[in-house]
Chains A and B, each alone.
Chain A
Amino acid sequence: MEASAFPISGEEQGLEKRPKDKRPKGPLDGGSKWARWALRYSVLFYLAALLIIPVIMIFVRTFEDGFIESFDAVTSEAGLHALKLTIITVLIAVPINTVFGVLTALVLVRQKFRGKAFLNALIDIPFAISPVVIGLALILLYGPRDGFVGEWFFEQGIQIIFSTPGIVLACIFVSLPFVVREVVPVLREIGDEQEQAATTLGAGPWQTFWRVTLPSIRWGVTYGVVLSTARVLGEFGAVSVVSGRISGQTETLPLFVRKQFEVFNQGGGYAAAMVLAALALLTLLLMNLINKKEERV
C-alpha cells in the first residue's frame, strides 16, 4: 500500500503531464534545417501578430496618452465602484463554485448511479454555450417582469436581475465547470484506497475528507480556483445582459472598459483594460507556479 502513495502513481504509469527535456533525435527532427526554421519562425510570427504584440499594445496605448490622465478614469468614482463590484463578485462566486465543485467532483468520481453521464455532460454546458444565452436564461428565470420565478422574488422585495445577485449568478454559471474539471482527474488518479484505509481506521467522513482527500487534491482545487477567478474577473457577455450596466451601480470592470470606449474616452478604456490584462498575466504566472508545484510533489 505504501508503494502506491498517490502523488507518484501518475508518473509511475508514465502519465506525467509535462514535457521532459530528454529528446532523442527522431527522423523528423534532423533533416532540413530550412524546413525547421521556416516552421519555427512561421509559428513565432503567427503568435506575435495574433497574441503577443496586441497584448503589448494595450500597455503602449495606456502610456501613450499620459499615464496619469489615463488612470484618472480608473480612479474615478465609477471606476473604483466597478473595481469594488468586480472584487465582491469574485469573493462570492468563486468560494461557492469551489465548494460545490469539489462536492460535484467527488460524487462524479466516487459514486455510481443512473443518470451520471447526463450530469457529467451538464457540467460542460457553460463552456459550450454563449455567455449571452446564459444571461438571457437568467433574465427569463429571474427577471422582475417576465421571469418565471422573478415575479415572486420581486414581490418579496428581492431584486435579482439588474442587481448584484444577478451578476453573481451569471458569474457562478459561466465558471461552474472549472473546479470540477480540474479536480475530477486528480481524484481518479489517486484512487480511494487511502480514504478506505482512513475509514477502516475509524475516521469519520469529515475527518477523512479534511485529512486525506483534500490534501491530495489541493493543487487541483487551487488550479480550478485560479481559473475560476480569472473567468469571473473578466466575465463580460452574461454580466452585460443581466446587470443593466448602470454606471456606478451594476457596472463591473469589464463593462466599465466597454463604457469608456463608447464615450470615446479611449485612454481611460485602455487604462482599465490594462488593469485587467495585468490581472490576467498574474493569473498566468500563478498557473505556471502551480504546475511546477504539482510536478515537484
Chain B
Amino acid sequence: MSGSAQPAAVRLPRPAFRPRLGSALLSRGIVVTWLSVMVLIPLAAVVFRSFEDGFGSFWDYATNPQALDALRLTVLAALAVTAINVVAGTAIAWVLVRDDFPGKKLINSMIDLPFALPTIVAGITLLALYGNDSPVGITVAYTVAGVIMALLFVTLPFVVRAVQPTLIELDRDMEEAAASLGASRFTIFRRIVLPNLRPAILAGAALAFARAIGEFGSLILLSGNIPGKTEVASVFIFGQIESGNTTGAAAVSVVLLAISLAILVALGAVARRGEAI
C-alpha cells in the first residue's frame, strides 16, 4: 500500500488491496445463487422439458408445419425490420446530431418512448391509427405489414441510441481532410463516416434483431395471429401453452432461444472488435 500516498494517476495493482476477502466471497455467492435461481434454472427447465421425450419428439414439435411457418415469419420479419432500422436509425441519428431545427430536443427525447411504453400499448397506438377504422385510410391490422410496423415501433431506439454517441464523438477533421483532397460528399460518407459508425450500427442492429425475434405484446392485438399468415413464433408458443402442450411450446422456445443466443454471441464479438479498434 506504499503507492497510495499521493500520485493520483498511479493505479494500484488490484491484488495488493484485499481488505475483505470473506465478504467478497459472500457477495459473489449471493450473486451467483440469485442469477442461477432467477435465470439459469428456469431456462434449464425449458431445455430439459423440450428434450424430455427424446430428440425425435423435440424435432417433431419444432418442425411441425404451423411452428415452421411461425418461425419463418419471425426470422424474416426480424431481418426486414433490422434492415430498415439500420437505414432509418442511422438517418435519424445523423439528423439528430448533425442537423439543427426547432423542436430537435423534443424529438430526441421522444426516441426513447418505445422503451418506456408498455408493449400492449404500443400495439394499440398503431391499432388506433392504422386499424380497421383508420382515420388516414391506411389499414395494416391483421397483415404482415402490421407485424413489421409493430416490430419497427418497438425496436426504433436501438440503432439510433447506438449510433448517436459515436457520431457525436466522430472527428470531423477526417471528413475535412477528405473534402480538401477532392472527395465528393457521397464518397466521404461511404469511405469515412460509415466505416467509423459500422461497429455501433451492428451492435444496435443485433439488439433490434434479438428484440424483434421475441416480441409478443405489441403483436397480440395488431397482427390478428392468423396461423400460417401473421402468427409469429412467440404467439405460437403462447397458443401451445394455453392448450396445455408445454412440451411443444418448450421445443419451439428452444429454437428461439438458440437464435437469440447466437445473436448475443455475435453481438459480443462485434462489441469486442469495436473496442479493439
A interface vs B, CB < 8 Å? 1-4, 14, 17, 19-20, 23-24, 26-29, 31, 36, 39-40, 42-44, 46-47, 50-55, 57-58, 60-61, 100, 103-104, 106-107, 110-113, 119, 121-141, 143, 146-148, 169, 172-173, 176, 192-193, 196-197, 199-200, 205, 227, 230, 233-237, 240-241, 254, 257-258, 261, 269-270, 273, 276-277, 280-281, 283-284, 287-288
Contact = CB atoms under 8 A, between A and B. Distances in A.
B114 interface: yes
Nearest to B50: A140
30 contacts: A19-B97, A27-B178, A27-B188, A39-B94, A39-B99, A43-B88, A43-B92, A46-B88, A47-B111, A51-B113, A58-B121, A100-B31, A107-B31, A112-B14, A113-B28, A124-B264, A125-B43, A132-B214, A132-B216, A136-B249, A139-B241, A193-B8, A199-B19, A230-B115, A234-B118, A240-B216, A254-B217, A257-B124, A258-B120, A277-B121
B155 to A, nearest CB: 11
A144 B113 CA distance: 38
B121 A276 contact: yes
A169 B119 CA distance: 19
Interface string B65-94: 000000000000000000000001001101
B253 A133 contact: yes
Contacts, number: 286
Chain A to chain B: the 3 pairs with minimum beta-carbon distance, closest first? A234-B118, A130-B214, A27-B179
Tell me the interface secondary structure of chain A in the complex.
Answer: helix
B59 interface: no
Nearest to B211: A127
Contacts of A28: 98, 175, 185, 188-189, 193
B231 interface: no
Given A39-B99, A287-B109, 13 more contacts: A19-B96, A24-B172, A39-B94, A43-B91, A47-B92, A107-B28, A113-B28, A128-B210, A133-B256, A133-B257, A137-B46, A234-B118, A261-B221
B39 A125 contact: yes
Contacts of A140: 42, 45-46, 48-49, 246, 250
Nearest to B180: A27
